[in-house]
Amino acid sequence: MEPWPPAADDALLAELRAALREPGPVPEEFVAGALAAYGWRTVDAELELAELTFDSSCDPEPAGLTRSTGSARTLTFRAGAVVVEIEVTRAGIVGQLSPARGGRVTAHTSVGAYEEVPVDAVGFFSMGVPPAGPVQLCARTAGYAVATAWVSLR
């Protein structure tokens, strides 16, 4: 009968023991990622998810609408009666919440919030140029709180 643990595993066990004894500092990006994940632990209880229902970069324009041939990208997100519409240009993001209410919109990346702006009484807001990678907008007003689906805006 072979001894337990098998001799072939002795080297692996020695490496594991050494790794546990001398862990060293945790890389900063791991700490940032862990804090961002922890911050989202209750997101389902706080925010309703607004699904992407229209993206001008891949959806055909509805018949009858005319738009300029600019470089703007339009996206529409919906969560029940709440609609978040944004237009992304080289200058940044402009958007509107419906039903219109004052509040705040926060833009998040995978490492946390990168910008927070006010929403005026008619639901309008504007932000700077989004970073590369997936972005999620979280809107909070007196009447509702929604978070858009994650989407790359650049």
Token duo for residue 23: 């862990």
The answer, yes or no, to whether residue 7 has pLDDT greater than 70, is no
Token duo for residue 20: 């546990």
Cα–Cα distance, 27 to 49 (Å, whole number): 32
Name which of 17-21, 43-47, 129-133 the model is least confident about: 43-47
Query: Tokens 């389902």 label which residue?
Result: 44
Residues 103-147 have pLDDT tens digits of: 999 999 988 889 999 999 999 999 999 998 899 999 999 899 999
The answer, yes or no, to whether residue 69 has pLDDT greater than 60, is no
Would you give the end-to-end CA distance of the chain in angstroms? 62
Find how far residue 59's CA is from the centre of its chain.
21
Cα–Cα distance, 53 to 67 (Å, whole number): 19
Neighbour tally for 50: CB within 10 Å: 24
Mind listing the domains of the chain with CATH numbers? 8-38 (no CATH), 46-62+70-152 (2.60.40)
pLDDT of residue 83: 97
81 contacts 68 by C-beta, under 8 angstroms: no
